[in-house]
Amino acid sequence: MSDDGRFERATSRFTDRITEDGRDGWPVEAGRYRLVVSRACPWASRSLVVRRLLGLEDALSLAVADPVQDERSWRFTLDPDGRDPVLGIRFLSEAYEAREPGHPGGVSVPAVVDVPTGGLVTNDYQRITLDLETEWTRLHRPGAPDLYPERLRDEIDERMDGVYRDVNNGVYEAGFATSQEAYEEAYGRLFARLDQVSEHLAARRYLVGDTITEADVRLFTTLVRFDAVYHGHFKCNRNKLTEDRVLWAYARDLFQTPGFGDTVDFDHIKRHYYVVHRHINPTRIVPRGPDLRGWRTPHHREELGGRPFGDGTPPSPPRQDEVVVPL
């Protein structure tokens, strides 16, 4: 936090990249790495969606942490004996320690861990999905969509920058603010950007071009949490997502697209935010609402045209061991 009550997000400490040529010492290799996520975390959820869309499940294994972490970091209490069955560790902090003994910083997800050494490779949430899209192409499934097409990258980057600053991170700046001024500034930027995005999407199905891109993935992971968490818990309460006709239809369109909604676990989302953030919710009571059935209602966004996967195809259904309890 800054002296004037503004939330300041820490930068990723470990920014090595896994690339086709292995220039950082980490070559793309099927089965070598393990992606550690929490289904509660919007930054980690980006990697879940991209991994599904690209069909990387067999190449990049998945570890899902308990949504409620403790002072020792994200924990693997969802697994038998409380240990990740591949890495053999109880806490993600052990992978950070293996990478940097005495690591002084925070422990965040998503994280990619080198299975042979048990050490962290990267926790660079801004870069992980881009590299999955551009460096892991040899391992993509047949029919995988191009989520970061080269001809549109400047526009995608511009869209993502604004959405990150004012929406993805903006909800946290509002929710974690410790001064009225800081809260109101973040609140204002958040809804100004959402209004802009809503106007942009009123006549087009996706943020950039006529197919799903990385920009849509990044916006979706905040929108899907908006009414369940950010509206009340983070005081982002000018209006609910369901009260914005365009954004609500856009979010439902993506949710109902294979690879998006089938990665979302609202139970994990709600338990994490309402239980872990004791300074905001000291009673740790998890609300029963909102009613989630609306996520499956018709959205009619297909009337705007567009091709969700471009020249590609939808991903196969989730692996049996990765199925989320449906709404």
- Over residues 65-123, the pLDDT tens digits come to 999 998 888 999 999 999 999 999 999 999 999 999 998 878 999 999 999 999 999 99
In this prediction, residues 268-283 reach a mean pLDDT of 97
What would the two tokens of residue 156 be? 């995608």
For the question of residue 236 being annotated catalytic, the response is no
**75 plus 199 within the same structural domain:** no
Mean pLDDT of 231-254: 98
Q: How many residues make up the chain in this entry?
A: 327
Say which amino acid occupies 202: A
Residue 105 shares a structural domain with residue 157: no
Residue 11 has pLDDT above 90, yes or no: no
Could you say which of 139, 168, 184 is where a domain stops? Answer: 139
Residues 263 and 119 in one domain: no
Percent of the chain with pLDDT over 70: 99
Number of structural domains the chain divides into: 2
The answer to the question of whether 248 is labelled as a binding residue is no
- Tell me which residue range forms the domain holding 276: 150-322
What pLDDT is stored for residue 3 in this prediction? 65
The lowest-confidence range among 1-5, 30-34, 88-92, 222-226 is 1-5
Residue 26 within any structural domain of the chain: no
Residue 230 has pLDDT above 80, yes or no: yes
In which band, very low, low, confident or very high, does the pLDDT at 1 lie, cut at 50, 70 and 90? Answer: low
- Give the pair of three-digit tokens for residue 172: 């946290």
Q: Are residues 75 and 195 in the same domain?
A: no
- How confident is the model at residue 151, as a pLDDT? 98
Whether omega before 110 lies within 30 degrees of 0, making that bond cis, reads: yes
CATH number at residue 241: 1.20.1050.10
Query: What's the chain's average pLDDT?
Result: 96
- Can you read off the two tokens belonging to residue 167? 């929406």
Q: CATH number of the domain that 62 lies in?
A: 3.40.30.10
105 and 154 belong to one structural domain: no
Q: Which of 96, 148, 172, 236 is catalytic?
A: 172
Domain assignment of residue 37, yes or no: yes
Q: What is the mean pLDDT of residues 285-296?
A: 97
| Of 41, 96, 125, 187, catalytic | 41
Say if residue 113 is in the same domain as residue 164. Answer: no
**Per-residue pLDDT tens for 131-188?**
999 999 999 999 999 999 999 999 999 999 999 999 999 999 999 999 999 999 999 9
CA distance 278 to 318: 34
Last residue of a domain, one of 139, 169, 203: 139
- What is this structure's pTM? 0.97
Residue 2 counted as domain residue = no
Q: Is 148 a catalytic residue?
A: no
311 pLDDT more than 80: yes
Same domain, 121 and 166: no
Domain co-membership, 215 together with 281: yes
- Write down the pLDDT at residue 147: 98
User: How many Å is the maximal CA-CA distance in the chain?
Assistant: 55
- Are 302 and 218 within one domain? yes
Cα separation, 106 vs 26, in Å, equals 23
Per-residue pLDDT of 15-60, as tens digits, reads 999 999 999 999 999 999 999 999 999 999 999 999 999 999 999 9
Point out the domain boundary residue: 139, 163, 192. Answer: 139
- Same structural domain for residues 191 and 218? yes
Supply the DSSP string of 8-40, one letter for each residue: -PPPPS-B---BTT-TTS-B--TTTEEEEE-TT
Considering the domain architecture, whether residues 163 and 304 belong to the same structural domain is answered as yes
